Amino acid sequence: MNWKILLALFIIIAITGLLIFSEKGRGFREKYLDKYIKSVGSYLTGIKSKFIKPKAVNRTLEITISTDSTNLRGQEFELTERPFKVELIYDAVSVGGQNIDAKGSENIDFKTDSMTGNIVIDENDKMKFSGQAGNVELNEIVFSSKSGEEKIEFYLVGTPISFSLIDVEKDSMIFSDISGSLKLGDWSPLTLKNDNLNIVNFKGTIEYEEDSLTITGDIEKASLNGVDLSLKI
């Protein structure tokens, strides 16, 4: 008896497929079915998105790292409406689509309160950053759009003398052969010497001045030479 039921279902499915994918059936499908199928799909997608919650980030550990600038090599940061200031020995500067030549000085002071863009420190300790902001200050000269609504685009390359990244977020920061000091939570500072350090879900401030790099903020967890330090807090 069961094989008869299966045979009947197979025949029904086959006939339905032929009707839908034949020339006449295709016209019927496009006219009557497709829009309803799309509507149902969109509705189900909307329902699914309501039940998917963003991953919770549990930044409960305070961290302070003191080290030198070489440990930022290869690091990349994405900023969204964040303040950023830097003094650098510049190689190239472009603001608002115009190349800038600061005659009489090899240093550039750059500052903005609302940068959206990308910052990279390469293996030669060169900082490259580009993005846009409502206004940009370059050696105390303010650049802003005529309308006040458009963003000013910029691109700079150079060797940083000092810089400050405030309220920056980073999913993961990996430091190989790092030396300096590490303070985590209420622990006394730990001395780092050619260690491997990995921190997860960082949010805080990164400051550099006179070859001294300080990273302070909150993280979700940290591991030192493969040992999860957050389990010991």
Give the whole-number percent of the chain exceeding pLDDT 70.
73
Q: Where are the domains of the chain?
A: 2-51, 61-232
Cα–Cα distances (Å) from 186 to 59, 92, 224, 227, 230, in that order, read 15, 44, 17, 18, 12
Is the pLDDT assigned to residue 40 strictly greater than 50? no
Q: What is the pLDDT of residues 165-200, one digit of tens each?
A: 999 999 999 999 999 999 998 888 999 999 999 999
User: What's the burial of 41, exposed, middle or buried (CB within 10 Å: 0-12/13-18/19+)?
Assistant: exposed
Sign of CA dihedral 124, 117, 57, 47: negative
Q: What is the pLDDT of residues 57-82, one digit of tens each?
A: 777 899 999 999 899 999 999 999 99
